[in-house]
Amino acid sequence: MGEPVRSDRAGELRASDAGREVRLAGWVASRRDLGGVVFLVLRDASGEAQVVVDPQAVPAAGEVAKDLRDEYCITVSGTVRPRPDGTVNPGMATGEIEVAAADVRVLSPSDPLPFQIDDRADVDEVRRLQWRYLDLRRPRMKANLIARSRAVSAMRRSMEGQGFLEVETPTLIRSTPEGARDMLVPSRLRAGSFYALPQSPQLFKQLLMIGGVERYYQIARCYRDEDFRSDRQLEFAQLDLEGAFWGRDDVLATLESVMVEVARELRGVELSTPFPRLTYREAMARYGTDKPDVRLGMEICDLGGAFAGTGFKAFAGVLDAGGVVRGINAGPLGMGRSGLDALGDLAKGAGAKGLAWLVVEDDGSLRSPIAKFLGDDEAAAVKEAMGAGPGDTLLLVADTPEIAAPALDRVRRHLGEPDDPDELAFLWVIDFPVFEKAPDGSLAPAHHPFTSPHDVDEMGSDPEHALSHAYDLVLNGSELGSGSVRIHDPEVQRRVFEILGISDEEAESRFGWFLEALRYGTPPHAGFAVGIDRLVSILQGEPNIREVIPFPKTQTGADPLTKAPTPVAADQLAELGLEAAGEDADGVAGGDGAAGEGGGASAG
């Protein structure tokens, strides 16, 4: 197969290599022609090195160099030499040397580029995705790919060190009748039947526990066909794990070890463990959210005491109706009326009727549209409850707890900024309610029906207050993942279905095969899943998970590079026992123009 394409990696050359004959291969990152002498920066995966082509000394190489353009793929043979005095580049790892070219060859030319291979260029995301292979050559994307690989490797190292077995679960699984968000795969051998792609390996990992595996993990590809939000993809990877004969605290400790390993790998920091734990109720009371960013300070105060018996009718009415008055001390905001109004709009956007503001003047008095309604005692009580001093701005919401919480969370996230942008604030939120309350007050199960309640009797008798052994991992205000202790007792499982309003017939048709499995000596078990995209994007300081996914889809599920998804021919559908709705068998499936559009789909 001939001589090796290269002898050295460009980014690894150092002053000590001076005098060596080397052969490099890579891409032309830049090219300058200075009085006939051509200076190239040659880039490969290891980094960059400067190459000098002197047409006087090497006419043939000079000819080749003359026609080089950015991103040509080339090889260069030559001699490493120290750069001349005054031209050393301390900002470049190879800045002390250059390669005097003896031979330059083009392995593969490049068409003119759709955008510069450069972190500084601000390129529309659809264009970046359409030429993702060029986008991946940019330093930032390269760093993100490497970081993701290292993060996943660190996870595996930690899991294996903790005695977990990696087990692959199937991705062509049974679709459940209610699986409206299932992505379906038509079967060819059994035309008219379908597999589903897994939303998670949930039931298979529970089967592995029943199968005696005891410690399972997997980097699992999962699929969720939901309306795209800025941070979701149709397919995503999660660190999925489950253990038998253990409980919540074992899960939490295991995950903490994983996060310690990942943070060490990507950030070089030592996280301190255990991570703080907040119950769901604490989190909601203090931060108005179940995924608090505790770096931001500004904890929420309940002002029910301060306003007990208030003469201010707006607050009194809310409190009398069972609502709350809560607020945050936003500190010395120094905001004018329009800024404060904008904050009010934020709160209203979260459903609140309004946001009251009070500024503490130097003399301790309160400046506020509602100041005139407050008694001196009330004003003092509010200031005391919120630890407020001169200059502080206090922001209050009076509403139901379900509305006050997200409204204040939103304002808080808008105003807050971490003291140290590199801080990693991991925490656990535990003891989630079994049911979550919809805005209309109705109750809906907050988790999958295999989640263990604290007390199945309480779940039936007092659903609104019943708690489950479910827990979330939160980092800097983002949910990284969630898990729970599972039900291992078939009788408890039966009662939970009953309380959830799932009839025996329905349970049997949806999960019969799993319910049978529970009857063969099921160990107590618990588990967790961590979204890898979100974790890596936060650790990399990326605002968007698509930056850490090699080939993501846009928010409408399109791939601007390959133009997937595409229509398929009617005869291909016919083989699967299908046809396009409303068309006869000779019609072409799919509407025109349905494929290939990426436009407008990628911002955010």
Instruction: Considering only residues 558 through 587, tell me which ones interact with a copy of itself, judged by CB under 8 A.
Output: 558-559, 561-569, 572-582, 585
- Indicate whether 544 belongs to the interface with a copy of itself (CB under 8 A): no
- Indicate whether 245 belongs to the interface with a copy of itself (CB under 8 A): yes
Q: How far apart are alpha carbons 510 and 500 in whole angstroms?
A: 14
- Indicate whether 115 belongs to the interface with a copy of itself (CB under 8 A): no
Sheet bearing 324-329, strands edge to edge: 300-302, 324-329, 393-399, 356-360, 366-367
How many of the chain's residues bind a copy of itself (CB under 8 A)? 134
Which of 88, 183, 314, 500 forms a contact with a copy of itself (CB under 8 A)? 183
Nearest to 331 by CA among 417, 403, 398, 401: 417
Helix (H) or strand (E) holding 508: helix 504-517
- Indicate whether 161 belongs to the interface with a copy of itself (CB under 8 A): no
Cis peptide before 274 (omega within 30 of 0): yes
Q: How far apart are alpha carbons 56 and 76 in whole angstroms?
A: 17
Minimum CB distance to a copy of itself smaller for 85 or for 520: 520
Helix (H) or strand (E) holding 166: strand 165-166
Q: The tokens 């090796």 sit on which residue?
A: 4
Which of 19, 67, 84, 111 forms a contact with a copy of itself (CB under 8 A)? 111
Binders in 499-538 for a copy of itself, by CB under 8 A: 513, 517-524
Minimum CB distance to a copy of itself smaller for 409 or for 559: 559
- Indicate whether 474 belongs to the interface with a copy of itself (CB under 8 A): no
Minimum CB distance to a copy of itself smaller for 443 or for 574: 574
Binders in 47-76 for a copy of itself, by CB under 8 A: 71-73
Q: Least distance in Å: CB of 542 to a copy of itself? A: 16
CB 511 within 8 A of CB 174: no
Which of 113, 123, 143, 446 forms a contact with a copy of itself (CB under 8 A)? 113
Q: The tokens 């068309």 sit on which residue?
A: 583
How many of the other CB atoms lie within 10 Å of CB of 189? Answer: 5
Which of 52, 61, 99, 237 forms a contact with a copy of itself (CB under 8 A)? 237
CB 199 within 8 A of CB 169: no
Q: How far apart are alpha carbons 171 and 384 in whole angstroms?
A: 57
Q: How far apart are alpha carbons 486 and 481 in whole angstroms?
A: 16
- Indicate whether 170 belongs to the interface with a copy of itself (CB under 8 A): yes
Q: What token pair was written down for 365?
A: 């008095």
Minimum CB distance to a copy of itself smaller for 251 or for 352: 251
- Indicate whether 121 belongs to the interface with a copy of itself (CB under 8 A): no
How many of the other CB atoms lie within 10 Å of CB of 185? Answer: 17
**Contact window for a copy of itself (CB under 8 A) among 84-92, 150-158, 307-315, 499-507:** 150-158
Q: Beta strand pairing status for 165-166 and 215-223?
A: parallel
Which of 20, 66, 174, 286 forms a contact with a copy of itself (CB under 8 A)? 174
Which of 25, 76, 263, 306 forms a contact with a copy of itself (CB under 8 A)? 25
Nearest to 29 by CA among 103, 139, 107, 127: 139
**Contact window for a copy of itself (CB under 8 A) among 118-126, 148-156, 360-368, 539-547:** 148-156
Q: Which residues pair with 327 in a beta bridge?
A: 301, 396
Q: What are the backbone dihedrals phi and psi of residue 428, each rounded to the nearest 5 degrees, phi first?
A: -105, 140
- Indicate whether 215 belongs to the interface with a copy of itself (CB under 8 A): yes
Which of 4, 59, 268, 322 forms a contact with a copy of itself (CB under 8 A)? 4
Which of 118, 235, 282, 458 forms a contact with a copy of itself (CB under 8 A)? 235
In sequence order, the 6+-apart residues with CB closer than 8 A to the CB of 220 are 169, 198, 200, 201, 237, 238, 239, 240, 529
- Indicate whether 449 belongs to the interface with a copy of itself (CB under 8 A): no
- Indicate whether 134 belongs to the interface with a copy of itself (CB under 8 A): yes
Q: How far apart are alpha carbons 466 and 436 in whole angstroms?
A: 10
Which of 16, 87, 89, 153 forms a contact with a copy of itself (CB under 8 A)? 153
Q: Least distance in Å: CB of 80 to a copy of itself? A: 18
Rounded to 10 degrees, the C-alpha dihedral 206/210/214/218 comes to -30
Binders in 290-309 for a copy of itself, by CB under 8 A: none
- Indicate whether 549 belongs to the interface with a copy of itself (CB under 8 A): yes
- Indicate whether 452 belongs to the interface with a copy of itself (CB under 8 A): no
Q: Least distance in Å: CB of 304 to a copy of itself? A: 33
Q: How far apart are alpha carbons 374 and 577 in whole angstroms?
A: 72
- Indicate whether 448 belongs to the interface with a copy of itself (CB under 8 A): no
- Indicate whether 438 belongs to the interface with a copy of itself (CB under 8 A): no
- Indicate whether 152 belongs to the interface with a copy of itself (CB under 8 A): yes
Which of 39, 115, 131, 373 forms a contact with a copy of itself (CB under 8 A)? 131
- Indicate whether 257 belongs to the interface with a copy of itself (CB under 8 A): no
Q: How far apart are alpha carbons 306 and 325 in whole angstroms?
A: 9
- Indicate whether 281 belongs to the interface with a copy of itself (CB under 8 A): no
Q: How far apart are alpha carbons 337 and 534 in whole angstroms?
A: 37
Q: Least distance in Å: CB of 520 to a copy of itself? A: 5
